[in-house]
């Protein structure tokens, strides 16, 4: 049986960490969980330690400061690969990614290298978002698809499954984005490595507790970076590099 590691990055998510871990454990009882805490001042890391002390399938990786979502995931990927996990899952800690839908993503990973939970394919949905945030997210995905010539619809979504094979094939050292653009960067790296990428519809639910780290400035900064990638041919360079490997 494949060993699955669900990676949950946290920063000031004390209200959410206990229920999200419980939901993952209920939805995929055989999976292990790695909480990656960026030195949350609200004590999220200490609460995660207490959860791990009571459950051998929960682990905690403490980072010394807030260095960005991408940096947390990249360190967690290294942690999981070094311990022999076959499937590594990205999951938000705020409940927006529903653990109850994870079995569908894992089922798709049996025949794909990368599985993306998608809001913008038939069957996908978003709950409790105002129209302007929906437009911003969908518009960002559409713009990135066109500029980078990607076929996938939800290029900014963060609910994903990467097989160990996929991560080992990818040039993770070339992933330079640590914030919002990280998901686009990882998808571009996956596609240019010749991996099989599929989208599975999900329902994204806006957080109930805590505050979002997202802002309009973050999205604008990401779109500027995507534009630079498109103009400088970053994707083409990766395709050449992948063909040589």
pLDDT (tens digit per residue) in 171-223: 998 887 877 789 999 999 999 899 999 999 999 998 665 555 544 556 666 67
**Which pTM value belongs to this model?**
0.87
The token pair at 199 is: 């989208």
Q: Dihedral of the CA atoms 188, 85, 99, 56 (nearest 10)? A: -150
User: Residue with structure tokens 């990368």?
Assistant: 114
The token pair at 141 is: 């995905």
Residue 158: give its domain's CATH number: 3.90.550.10
Domain that holds residue 17: 4-244
Q: For the chain, percent helix, then strand, then coil, each to nearest 5?
A: 45, 15, 35
Report d(CA 100, CA 23) in Å as an integer: 7
Q: Residue 243 — pLDDT band, cuts 50, 70, 90?
A: very low
* Residue (of 58, 158, 161, 57) closest to 106 by Cα position: 161
Mean per-residue pLDDT, 90-116: 97
Total domain count, the chain? 1
* Residue (of 173, 175, 194) closest to 112 by Cα position: 194
Has residue 116 got a pLDDT over 80?
yes
Q: Residue 234 — pLDDT band, cuts 50, 70, 90?
A: low
Question: What sign for the dihedral angle of Cα 108, 32, 177, 232?
Answer: negative
Alpha-helical runs (H) found in 55-113: 69-82, 102-108
Q: Residue 145 — pLDDT band, cuts 50, 70, 90?
A: confident
């Amino acid at each position: 049986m494949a060993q699955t590691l669900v990676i949950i990055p946290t920063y000031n998510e004390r209200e959410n960490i206990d229920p999200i871990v419980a939901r993952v454990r209920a939805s995929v009882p055989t999976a292990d969980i790695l909480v990656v805490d960026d030195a949350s001042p609200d004590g999220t890391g200490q609460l995660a330690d207490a959860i791990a002390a009571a459950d051998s399938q929960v682990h905690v990786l403490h980072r010394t400061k807030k260095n960005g979502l991408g940096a947390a995931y990249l360190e967690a990927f290294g942690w999981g690969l070094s311990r022999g996990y076959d499937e590594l899952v990205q999951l938000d800690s705020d409940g927006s990614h529903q653990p109850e839908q994870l079995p569908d993503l894992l089922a798709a990973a049996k025949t794909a290298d990368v599985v993306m939970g998608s809001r913008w394919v038939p069957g996908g949905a978003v709950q409790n978002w105002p129209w302007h945030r929906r437009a911003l997210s969908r518009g960002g995905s559409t713009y990135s698809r066109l500029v980078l010539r990607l076929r996938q619809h939800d290029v900014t979504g963060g609910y994903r499954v990467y097989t160990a094979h996929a991560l080992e094939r990818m040039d993770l050292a070339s992933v330079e984005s640590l914030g919002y653009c990280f998901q686009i960067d990882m998808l571009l790296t996956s596609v240019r490595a010749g991996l099989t990428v599929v989208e599975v519809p999900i329902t994204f639910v806006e957080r109930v507790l805590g505050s979002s780290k997202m802002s309009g400035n973050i999205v604008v900064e990401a779109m500027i970076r995507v534009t630079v990638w498109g103009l400088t041919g970053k994707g083409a360079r990766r395709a050449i590099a992948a063909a040589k490997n």
